[in-house]
Structure 1
Amino acid sequence: MGEAMTDNSTEATPRFPLKFFTSRPNYHWYVVATVCIGAFMAALDGSIITVALPTIDREFNVNVSESAWVALAYLLTLTALLAMFGRIADIVGRRPLYTIGFSIFIIGSALCGASPTLSLLIGFRVLQGIGATMLQANSVAIVTAAVPQKVRGKAIGIQGSALAVGLSLGPAIGGLLIGFFGWRSIFYVNVPVGIIGTALAAMILPIDLHKDASAKSNFDFLGAFLLAVSLIAFLLGLNQGNDDGWGSPIIIGYFVATVLFAVLFYFQEKRHTSPLIDLGLFKIEQLTWGNITGSLSYGVMYGVLYIVPYFFEDVLHKPSSASGLLTTPLPIGMMLLAPVAGKIADKFGSKLPTVTGMGIATLGTIALIFVDDKTNLLFIIIALFFVGVGMGVFTPPNNSSVMGSTPPNRLGVSSGMLNMSRSLGQSVGIAYAFAIFQGVILIYHFTPKNAPVGPLIAGFKWTFIGVAIFGAVALFISLFRGNVEKVALPEEAHIIEL
């Protein structure tokens, strides 16, 4: 009888991922849905903060330059650590790192909401960013490993849609939460959603089959440090260049540090037996060019997304609430087309949708060059929608080409690099657009705050020309890339006792 009891207790022991999910023929879609929760939350928290900053200014009685660090701390953390956590995931497994990341994200969010001072809020945003980095560094890798090759593009497209939804809904959700419950609620809302996401990750995500266990005792800490410093210096230079002046000593110092630490990182990776980023990966054509075009595409998207609200407010004299709403056709277009583009890539390969998508996005940006104070609002909305549609058609097959050409034991670091490229493209696109805009207006001896309509329109026109060049370069590269030779990966639908 005692023996029977032992058997029963053993059978009752929870086993993860649950067989209830792994035994289903469509198990991989449960994995995709789970990953989309993390992708959505991480993207949402990157955009939701924008509407809260004025309230935070008043709450802590600080100026805009100080509160901007609440947003910047998250972005810096995310970009600087993506490659490192991607590499760690290759060593210890994507499943545990993703689940732990969700837990850190929850704790960081709760602490942000409870922060009594601005300094603590910025510090806890770094903690929250670490959790978000662990989610983003693993999301595409988990999808790539778990989803059969024939529908991989569609799955990556759905994950991309989750990112787009998070980015687009962030300001709207943030505005509602702040209006009803105050600014702290934008952080507290992450807690219940995060708990659900963590539980689902534990119950559903597959066990990793491909780990680089040889690197576990020889992790490249110095390489991680050098890369992080280089990226942080670069982003600080970009973000503060418009305010401090591109020729100021501090900005020049940031870019000198960027180059210096990047060179040191390169030589560290060459000599290390288990480098943070295997430089041999860059010999894979699709991986290298896919990251470059991905970065350029996000430069287009964010260059447009961040400059257009100023056009709505300063030229068309729309209220800020309306300008935010009028920019949503861009992320909506991306959200609607991403899954469709993934299916096209699965059937025809990556080249056709990447070329088509970047062509549409570039045409949408070119259309914006011709807007002025008499332009019909519908024309601008359609142009923005075209940029979003182009991004939606381009991004999933481009990401699929990168991940599909990556060796199985490097999926984590490749996913981290892909997301890092996106963050860099985002930062470069914003800084590039504002630098052109401000520079053109200065030629007319005005500043953006006091410029009349004529110089403002000239500033917008040349900004969109500059952003369209990014799109044209990405289109040219995509046109001469071949189709990816996808790496066939076994499904990681394995059960293990936790």
Structure 2
Amino acid sequence: MPTQESVSKVEKGSRRSVLLATTISSFLVAFMVSAANVALPLIGVEFKLDPIMLGWVQSSYFLASVVFLVPLGRIADIKGRRGVFIAGVVLYTVTSFLASFSNSQLFLLSIRVFQGVGGAMIVSTAVAILIEVFPEREWGKVLGINTAMVYIGVSSGPSLSGFLIQYFGWRSIFLVNAPLGVVTLILSLKLKDDRIQANGSKFDLLGTIIYGLGLTMAMYGISSIFSVSSNGLNTNPEVIYAPIIILMFGTFMISGFVVLETKSPSPVLDIRLFKSNRVFSYTSFATLINYSANSATSLLLSLYLQLVKGLEPEMVGLTLLPQPAVQAILSPFAGWLSDRIQARLLATIGMGVTGIGLALFTFLESSTSITFIMLNLALIGIGFAFFSSPNTNLLMSSVSNKDHGVASSMLATMRQLGMITSTIIATSVIAYFIKGVEISEAPIPLLVSGINQSFAISAFLCLIGMILSFKAVKK
């Protein structure tokens, strides 16, 4: 927990500056993620990508974030969160500018990897910084504000990017991010030096390398197994053996990482938190399930609205607006409410409402009305708001102050890992239905069937998430 001395020191320096810097940076990252989803169909057309490779435009960013989130959270605990946070803002801003000059798939994917590292620096420290400087009685409120800013970024991403893409091309969504990053950097420089919570601890370099390689190999192996040939899912034994072996090696390395961290005196991730802290364990996995279920919604609907409905990017952005807008409005209230009543119960209800909305999207047809889509997105937004803020409050409250950096990183890691999983599931299912053709040439009935099945899997994942949350409620 933050000490009274540390809280008092921040009171003199103004907590508002800290809140402003961290929330704007959270907006910056969230905006880019949602904006890229609207741009994906046009990126796929320009670079002639199939669904799997199109998904890697997002997955390369998410994978880089996942690999670096936990190690960077640990470095922030040891060396100080301010430096990591500012470095992240700089890297994110520079890579956003460079991405606007992408002239090939390889260049864009490479830049997205480095952009993911910058994003990891930001999200691994932002929540921990807020927890450090605000007293516990205000955590729900400030986390709700931070979550609301994330969803404002998500909500403005589709509409603003739709306008930019329609009139200036898809590269403009990266370029417009750069000046926003400069503003964030100026504000970030006003952050005061933070108290180092794990001073004297060593950084587990070996564990970090094993973790990064294992996770990368596992996710790449899973994606490669579902790569598409002209006959749908790749079932050629000579081709599929390699990704299976890569997946096995990745799984083996992750298992080795778990064993190593349980014995390390200064682990990059304290595995014992999962064993001894029931709340931390269940809320972490509930976060993973929630984002695995919901993250591909905007991608699936962007493909549906542009390729099936024939809408322009600007209209696609406006159609996708209800979900993040509702989340932005309700998240502060949900956070405030979680300070007063059972946060675990709120998160469970929120997961259930999200699952209902995802299940309704399994009935999408070529003739489905835009009104139905927007109302259902609002329903999903209500569920997501009542899951996210209470779940974050619950997770951060379950650990001591010295572990806030790692807890914040684990929360973000589960989010990003869920986003990768969601993208892989969605693109793999669609690839199976359209039989490996380029996304722009996919037969409409087959594309709609793939989208429906993807939403069905998402709804089922929410059911699993509800069970996890309910088990956390039942002590």
Deviates more, 1:36-45 or 1:205-214: 205-214
Aligned to 2:343: 350
Determine if the alignment matches structure 1 residue 411 to structure 2 residue 398: no
The CA distance in 1 between the partners of 2:171 and 2:263, in whole Å, is 47
The CA distance in 1 between the partners of 2:284 and 2:77, in whole Å, is 19
Give the conservation status (yes or no) of the 8 Å contact 2:319–2:370.
no
2:247 equivalent among 242, 250, 255: 255
Aligned to 1:9: none
The CA distance in 1 between the partners of 2:368 and 2:87, in whole Å, is 50
Amino acid at match of 1:464: F
SS at match of 2:200: helix
Change (3 A) 1:238 1:306: farther
Higher Rg:
1
Aligned to 2:36: 49
In the TM superposition, what whole-angstrom CA distance separates every residue of 1:192-218 from its partner, at most 9, and x where no partner exists?
322321222221x35433521222xx3
Determine if the alignment matches structure 1 residue 480 to structure 2 residue 464: no
Aligned to 2:129: 142
Give the conservation status (yes or no) of the 8 Å contact 1:440–1:462.
no
The CA distance in 2 between the partners of 1:168 and 1:220, in whole Å, is 38
Determine if the alignment matches structure 1 residue 211 to structure 2 residue 197: yes
Give the conservation status (yes or no) of the 8 Å contact 1:106–1:191.
yes
**Residue 295 of structure 1, CA deviation:** 1.1
Amino acid at match of 1:100: A
Determine if the alignment matches structure 1 residue 236 to structure 2 residue 220: yes
Describe how 1:148-227 pairs up with structure 2 within 5 A.
Answer: 148-178=135-165, 184-203=171-190, 205-215=191-201, 218-227=202-211
Aligned to 1:279: 271
**Residue 56 of structure 1, CA deviation:** 6.4
The CA distance in 2 between the partners of 1:351 and 1:252, in whole Å, is 38
Describe how 1:348-387 pairs up with structure 2 within 5 A.
Answer: 348-387=341-380
Give the conservation status (yes or no) of the 8 Å contact 2:298–2:320.
yes
Give the conservation status (yes or no) of the 8 Å contact 1:433–1:467.
no
Amino acid at match of 1:355: T
Amino acid at match of 2:469: S
Determine if the alignment matches structure 1 residue 467 to structure 2 residue 467: no
**Residue 292 of structure 1, CA deviation:** 0.6
Describe how 1:19-30 pairs up with structure 2 within 5 A.
Answer: 22-23=11-12, 27-30=14-17
Aligned to 1:128: 115
**Residue 414 of structure 1, CA deviation:** 1.1
Amino acid at match of 1:44: F
The CA distance in 2 between the partners of 1:109 and 1:313, in whole Å, is 25
Determine if the alignment matches structure 1 residue 296 to structure 2 residue 280: no
Q: Provide TM-score, normalisation by structure 1.
A: 0.81
Deviates more, 1:432-441 or 1:90-99: 432-441
In the TM superposition, what whole-angstrom CA distance separates every residue of 1:245-271 from its partner, at most 9, and x where no partner exists?
465234323321320210221222133
- Percent sequence identity is 27
Q: Provide TM-score, normalisation by structure 2.
A: 0.84
SS at match of 1:480: helix
Determine if the alignment matches structure 1 residue 64 to structure 2 residue 49: yes
Give the conservation status (yes or no) of the 8 Å contact 1:46–1:75.
no
Q: State the number of aligned residues.
A: 455
User: Where do 5+ consecutive residues of structure 1 fail to align?
Assistant: 1-16, 485-498
SS at match of 1:219: coil
User: Where do 5+ consecutive residues of structure 2 fail to align?
Assistant: 1-5
**Residue 401 of structure 1, CA deviation:** 0.8
SS at match of 2:386: helix
Change (3 A) 1:71 1:331: same
In the TM superposition, what whole-angstrom CA distance separates every residue of 1:135-167 from its partner, at most 9, and x where no partner exists?
011111112222222221121122122222223
The CA distance in 1 between the partners of 2:214 and 2:326, in whole Å, is 34
Give the conservation status (yes or no) of the 8 Å contact 1:238–1:427.
no
Amino acid at match of 1:220: D
Change (3 A) 1:163 1:209: same
**Residue 329 of structure 1, CA deviation:** 1.8
Aligned to 1:394: 387
Amino acid at match of 2:124: A
Deviates more, 1:265-274 or 1:381-390: 265-274
Aligned to 1:433: 426
**Residue 428 of structure 1, CA deviation:** 1.2
Give the conservation status (yes or no) of the 8 Å contact 1:210–1:408.
no
Deviates more, 1:346-355 or 1:101-110: 101-110
Aligned to 1:11: none
In the TM superposition, what whole-angstrom CA distance separates every residue of 1:26-67 from its partner, at most 9, and x where no partner exists?
x43432221011111122223333455677679xx8543678
